[in-house]
Structure 1
Amino acid sequence: MTKLTVGPWIAAQKLPSRNVARDRLAFLERTQVRQATPTVAGFPLVGLGGSCGKPCFALPYTLTWDDQNTQALEALAGEFGCYVEYGVYPHLKLHENDQEVAAVQDWTTFATVYMRPGYDRAEELLVRLADTFRPAGN
């Protein structure tokens, strides 16, 4: 699989320069791109991380962390050359440079995954995360 294909969608919403940081009409123009929300591997993009700007994808189920699924997350992270850093929610970071490539959130009414769009295996990792945590019968 490949990097995420949502880069242009994200870039179209970012502040192009500090000169327009207070320009309400420029902001409204940038938000027009949200009317056509993309999906990746069938997962809807539901927004961007507030501090990190990573695209956020909704999983079609809720998630509650426990010993079994955190061990599964650590095993999956290892397959992608990552380790898990546990903060408010788990982040997958590359061993080689500590770059965050994904984060999985459980504290909403549905699980979400934040993905680094430029990560070479982003789409594959998104699919594998969804499969790893999918409840039986879903």
Structure 2
Amino acid sequence: MTKLTVGPWIAAQKLPTHDLARDRLAFLERTQRRGTTPTVAGLPLVGMGGSCGKPCFALPYTVTWTQTNTLALEHLAADFGCFVEYGIYPHLKLQDGGQEVAAVQDWSTFATVYLRPGYEQAEELLERLLETLGAPLHG
């Protein structure tokens, strides 16, 4: 089981204290740390969710939801003790307690996966999502 190893990079991006919320120079200093971004399972970290703060990884393909790939996603979720909640896009949530561990966004020109960094199986889940949603299932 592997948690995401991007924690220090993410921490360096976040506002350290609310006192610095209006400090432009502190913001510019934090953005300098974005020059190099980590990868996990061969996927680039492209940023963080604006509201959720979860690291976001770009999939190397777009996703169009079908009966086939949503069923495959549900089976994958079950392998990780999760269920799928379908909102604007699918969220994988733990059966025990409902904590969100992943979300797959498909409503842009590329697909992304948001992952809870402290989830014990985050890297394995990302690898399996990459396989499960990849061709030929995504179209």
Give the Cα–Cα distance (whole angstroms) in 1 for the partners of residues 14 and 71 of structure 2. 36
String of CA shifts for 1:61-85, please: whole Å, max 9, x gaps.
1110011111110010000000001
Give the Cα–Cα distance (whole angstroms) in 2 for the partners of residues 24 and 88 of structure 1. 33
Q: How many Å apart are 1:33 and its aligned residue?
A: 1.1
Displaced runs of 4+ in structure 1, greater than 4 A?
none
Give the Cα–Cα distance (whole angstroms) in 2 for the partners of residues 14 and 99 of structure 1. 22
Q: How many Å apart are 1:9 and its aligned residue?
A: 0.4
Percentage of pairs with the same residue: 75
Q: Report the residue type matching 1:78 in the other structure.
A: A
Q: How many Å apart are 1:22 and its aligned residue?
A: 0.4
The match for 2:20 is: 20
The match for 1:88 is: 88
Indicate whether 1:64 and 2:64 are aligned.
Answer: yes
Q: How many Å apart are 1:108 and its aligned residue?
A: 1.3
Larger displacement relative to structure 2 (29-38 or 119-128): 29-38
Give the Cα–Cα distance (whole angstroms) in 2 for the partners of residues 95 and 33 of structure 1. 36
Question: Tell me, what secondary structure is at the counterpart of 2:56?
Answer: strand
TM-score where L is the length of structure 2 = 0.95
The match for 2:119 is: 119
5+ residue gaps, structure 2:
none
5+ residue gaps, structure 1:
none
Number of corresponding residues: 136
Question: Tell me, what secondary structure is at the counterpart of 1:68?
Answer: helix
* CA RMSD, Structure 1 to Structure 2 (Å): 0.7
Q: Report the residue type matching 1:33 in the other structure.
A: R
